[in-house]
Amino acid sequence: MTLDTAKTFPFNSFLLIFALMAKQNVYLASKPRYEILDGLRGVAALMVVIFHCFETYVPTFGTQIVNHGYLAVDFFFVLSGFVIGYAYDDRWDKMSTWGFFKRRLTRLHPMVIAGMVVGAALFFFSPSYFPKTQTVEGWKFALCFVMGLFMIPCGSRLDIRGWNEVNSFNGPQWTLTMEYIGNILYALVFRHLPKVALAVLCACCAVLTLDVTLGWDLFGFFPEDPHYTVIGGWSLDPEQIYIAFTRLLYPFLCGLLISRILPGRRTEANPSGSPIHIRGGFWWCALAIVVLLAIPCIGGKTPGLADGIYQALTILALFPIIVLTGAGSRTTDAFSTKFCKWLGDISYPIYITHYPIMYMQMSWVQDHPDSPVWIHIMVNVGVVAISIILAYGLLKAYDLPVRAWLTEHWLKRNKQTA
């Protein structure tokens, strides 16, 4: 080190530290949204609610009426990978890893807390279906609640409901745990990969999907019977953890890869770059999602090889095609645009808060098996309506104000300095 360099070294170090701090504190405004993809996320979320309503009646009907509703989770992960890549891939020169995590926490975690509070408030209102809830120790209840607030999965020893879920207050929270993991993997690993490496990794993860859906069992997680389905992921058993990561990795990577490919195809006539753009794209894609999620189990009442092939085809090909179509199409009338926005607004709140109501529905159905059909219909119409009202109310009265406060006081902090 020369004398002149030594004299200026502290000053240069200060400038470097200042630049790094500035990068962390620069607030990045949200990019324009793909309104059709927002709407499709809402359609899938509503199908999840309907799927869960019918799930309670499987013993009555002998099968699930909205049979493939669980595949909405895999669709969400495709959307998530696409949206994350679109929103952040070209912004890392202005954003630190911690800055990215702060943005994702601001977007996702307020409703995680809301789902936990709703779940805790309604925890004791389903005694018939979940008798274990009436004998839980207070310290376990409190510990599981705190762990849920911080997205810490609970093992079987902390199963206070009896379903061996990673979160006994709000079962679907396991998918948010995987969403967080996907975000962490993106920030630390995936964003650094070139498109070719990302495509190779995506292909490898497709093998995991085929391993589960086609009953290959390459790694010996299902020694007794072939699995033939992606159903699962909500427990800390080894096979459930394998299913959870299988459901996350290919869809998320595929969505991310799509977001990387499209910019190179953009033209003035096709600003999205998607090779698929059709008139009425939202309505056609929404219809496709409803059909794909509602189609009966293929080949019998329980998933076998034929149904596994259907699941694999849907996850590996049809969901990405729907995302490409939604990204490439545009709404052309005011109603479609407003409807897509409304669906997008309630999609996450309804998904993360509806299941505590479902626990109560399960207990009511068990207590009233002989009630007239019209009463069962009205109960479930009410469940869907309450889920929508609760989601919209929490969005307006809680989620949006809390996110606005966090944006102003956390994300934009020291913006003037930057």
pLDDT, tens only, 347-369: 999 999 999 999 999 999 999 99
What local confidence, expressed as pLDDT, does residue 271 receive?
Answer: 66
330: left (phi over 0), alpha (psi -120 to 50) or beta: beta
Residue 11 scores a pLDDT above 80: no
CB 358 within 8 A of CB 115: no
417 confidence band (pLDDT: 50, 70, 90): very low
Mean pLDDT taken over the chain: 90
143 contacts: CB under 8 Å, gap ≥ 6: 158
Q: From CA 177, how far away is CA 167, in angstroms rounded? A: 10
- pLDDT, residue 411, reads 87
Query: DSSP assignment, residue 65?
Result: S
CB contact at 8 A, 170 and 148: yes
414 domain-assigned: no
Here the tokens at position 413 are 């902090």
36-67 per-position pLDDT tens digit = 999 999 999 999 999 999 999 999 998 999 99
Q: CA-CA distance, 376 to 388, in Å (whole number)? A: 19
Per-residue confidence (pLDDT) for residue 83, from 0 to 100: 96
**Listed range (195-204, 262-271, 303-312, 339-348) with the worst mean pLDDT:** 262-271
Question: Quick one: pLDDT at residue 225?
Answer: 80
Locate 404 and state its tokens. Answer: 């606005």
The radius of gyration computed from the CA coordinates of the chain, to the nearest angstrom, equals 23
Q: Give the rounded percent of residues in the chain with a pLDDT score beyond 70.
A: 89
CA distance 69 to 351: 13
Q: What is the mean pLDDT of residues 233-253?
A: 97
- Report the C-alpha gap between 126 and 134 in whole angstroms: 9
- pLDDT at residue 274 in the model: 76
Q: Are 72 and 319 in contact (CB under 8 A)?
A: no
Tens digits of per-residue pLDDT, 266-289?
Answer: 665 566 677 788 889 999 999 999
How does pLDDT run across 143-165, given as a tens digit for each residue? 999 999 999 999 999 999 999 99
Domain span at residue 223? 33-89+97-400
Measure the CA–CA gap between 358 and 363, rounded to whole angstroms: 9
Residue 195 structure tokens: 């498109």
- Asked if residue 306 belongs to a domain, the reply is yes
Q: Is the pLDDT of residue 12 over 50?
A: no
Asked whether residue 129 is assigned to any structural domain, the reply reads yes
Give the residue ranges of DSSP H helices in 95-237. 97-121, 138-149, 173-188, 195-213
Query: Residue 211 domain-assigned?
Result: yes
How many domains are contained in the chain? 1
Distance between first and last Cα of the chain: 30
Per-residue pLDDT, 413: 72
CA distances from 69 to 35, 48, 85, 160 (A): 23, 6, 26, 26
What confidence score (pLDDT) does residue 412 get? 81
Taking residues 74-102, report their average pLDDT: 95
Q: Is residue 7 part of a domain?
A: no
| 116 is a domain residue | yes
What span, in angstroms and rounded, lies between the C-alpha atoms of 73 and 229?
13
- Dist. CA 322–CA 255, nearest whole Å: 11
Among the ranges given (11-20, 354-363, 388-397, 398-407), the one the predictor scored with the smallest mean pLDDT: 11-20
Confidence of residue 21 (pLDDT cuts 50, 70, 90): very low
Q: How many CB atoms lie within 10 A of CB 23?
A: 16
What pLDDT is stored for residue 86 in this prediction? Answer: 94
Note whether residue 379 is domain-resident. yes
**239 falls within a domain:** yes
